[in-house]
Amino acid sequence: MILLTSLASAQKVKVGFDKSTSFTSYHTYSWPKDTVTRETPLRRLAVITEIDYQLKQKGFSRVENGGDLLLIAYGGMESDIGGESTAFLPPSYSSWTYPSVNVWYGEVTAPANLIVDGGLALQFVDAAQKKVVWQGSVKQKLDPNKRTENLKLVKNAITKLLDKFPPKKS
């Protein structure tokens, strides 16, 4: 795997991918079953919607089952000053998943003036070969008092992360 890192606007993006993979053969993707349920928090829905939008702009189609790629997302928010922390969950692909433990599981309770780190990690798994072909993560500082600004920051973070997918030919 090759690893790339960039730092911009307090966003930290890291990406790795399998250099032997031909990404031109991928056209569809699926989320794990039960990624979205009636109980899905709005913040998670916003992240999923933005990821879907960015991938559609790149020519990928979301299908409910049987996509060329399985998209697995993990995330969280953490703080070390007061409140309860829901730590960032690093991705780890296996033949099974816990649908309820993907994409920003949990809630953060923190003082009103606390700045928290939000993190998101994505893995694209080749569905036929059952192997991770691309993974990336992004961290962004968020202010719990600025929800509208946070949505823009999250959107920009996802855009920067997926700007590196699929990898450019070198």
pLDDT reported for residue 106: 45
Averaged over successive runs of 10 residues, the pLDDT of the chain (170 residues) comes to: 41 92 96 79 84 97 96 76 45 43 42 64 95 93 80 90 87
Give the integer Cα–Cα distance in Å for 125 and 138.
18
Length of the chain: 170
The domain defined by 2-162 folds into Double Stranded RNA Binding Domain (3.30.160)
List the beta bridge partners of residue 61: 28
Q: Ramachandran region of residue 133, left (φ > 0), alpha (ψ -120 to 50) or beta?
A: alpha
Query: Hey, what amino acid is at 143?
Result: D
Hey, where are the domains in the chain? 2-162
CA-to-CA distance for 93 and 69, rounded, in angstroms?
13
- Separation between Cα atoms, residue 78 and residue 76, nearest integer Å: 7
Token pair recorded at residue 6? 């960039």
What pLDDT is attached to residue 133? Answer: 96
For residue 137, the model assigns a pLDDT of 93
Q: What is the pTM of this model?
A: 0.72
